Structure 1
Amino acid sequence: MTDGIPDGEAMRDALRRMAGTAADTARPPDLGDLSHRARRRRVRSVAAAGLVAAAMVAVPVGVGVTAAPTREPRLAAPAPTAPAAQAPVPSPSGPADVPPTATASARTTETGGPIQPATEPTIGTRQVKLFLLREQAGQRCPQIVAVTREVPARSVAREALRALLDGPTPADRAAGLTSAFDGDAHRFRYLKLDGTNARADFTDLDGILAPDDSCEKTKLLEPMRRTLEQFGWITQARFSVRGDQRAFYVGILHDQVPD
């Protein structure tokens, strides 16, 4: 070096050192290191892409939840109601051996069992007694007189009572016989037998006797009672109006219901 300026040899040494350093610096990178760095970048890229995709999916869902309008609950229309089954119209005609005015319970009782002993005939006709009235001079109440009739053998006690309610025949009237009954069989409802007890029921007995007639038992009770009790299987005959014995014994006879 001369006068503070490096000589040629020193300059060349410095240049060689700088060239070596530059060569070292310019040396190609290690391939393994580059591969490792590339894998790390891909992992970071994939993770970042996943986060972005998740964010993109989450945002619409969130927006959909908050932006969806609230719907009112929709009520189902009521089911149509099927028309109620119409009750069958009862036939106006009852059993052949029951009056049309008899109630359903009376029909059941009337047809639910025998109305006379099995030993009694049921074919043809039978001769029975009916009890009519004959006025007596000087007597307040009439005399009770028996006459004979032919009635069906089937349900003979009931047929005898109906014949009594029909009233006297022209021949009876010609003989001076009368009755409180005259064409009143339509008032009869049923004859109920309970062992040896019988009860005859009526729709009404209005107008049979005059309001001031005091011979109720002679004109009403006795002819019916004797007509029914002539049969050996009936020991006691009772009577009622629409099932009420008081209506007959108290309301019509002005008496009390027998024990």
Structure 2
Amino acid sequence: MHAILLVGGKGTRLAPLTRNIPKPLIRFGPYSILEITLRRLHGAGFRRVTLCISHLGELIREEFGDGRRLGLAIDYSLDAEPLGTAAPLLNVTEWDEPAVVMNGDILTTVDFADLHRQHTDSETLLTVAFHRRRLPTSVGMLHVIDQRVRAIWEKPSFNWNVNSGIYVANPLARKFITEDEPADMPDLINAMIDHDEPVNGYGFAGPWHDIGTHPRYRQAKAEFLADPELYLDPRRRSAPGGVHLEPDPLQDDATAPDLSLLLEQRLDGPAA
């Protein structure tokens, strides 16, 4: 199986940690963020990884080389002029099967093998992995359409689907990316939807960290160091005491209002 990691960002919000190294090489104890992901991918059965590099990419190449020390075959795709998170996919060579595509600054326990398998079974061009979150509120919420109150919740928690920055893409999905123009993954998703091209969703719960700010970095580092094997070994499904795992919102509290559904209702108007 093949994975493509987008590791070309500058990580300016994590300065000064990223002053002299790319964000994916920030370390959690003995491992960099990128090495944690690479080890997890290898444990899930992936053998080829393409690293899309740009800012300080030579340091990433020096760190991992051809990938043999991790049991991987690593190749590199240089994004000489950064144009977003989707545009680098146009430069990936010898790509002829579905590949996991993900940002290089994510710490997660998502089951990469299951994600890849479900995408392949779906026969679609793109699958978006989303993290199911609850968004708590401290006030009463009204659902109002045409000045009529349709529902009320007192201090509810809303279910929300968060784009995890993890995808599975077929190489044919690149036909929706315009060459030499900026394009992020949300642009690609919207372009496919606009062309009535099905885009699948893959929901998961459990630990997921987007390491984009100092508070998020500190939280992710603390959780990793509390139980490294939870993140390094795909066979681990839960953590022992000391690491807090969120309840699976895909399974419990089905009565919580779905904020995305409310937004759709608000846009479409009341049902006939």
TM-score, normalization by structure 1: 0.23
Q: Identify the structure with bigger relative contact order (alpha carbons < 8 Å, sequence gap 6+).
A: 2
**Larger Rg belongs to:** 1
**The structure with more strand, counted as a fraction of residues:** 2
Structure with higher helix content: 1
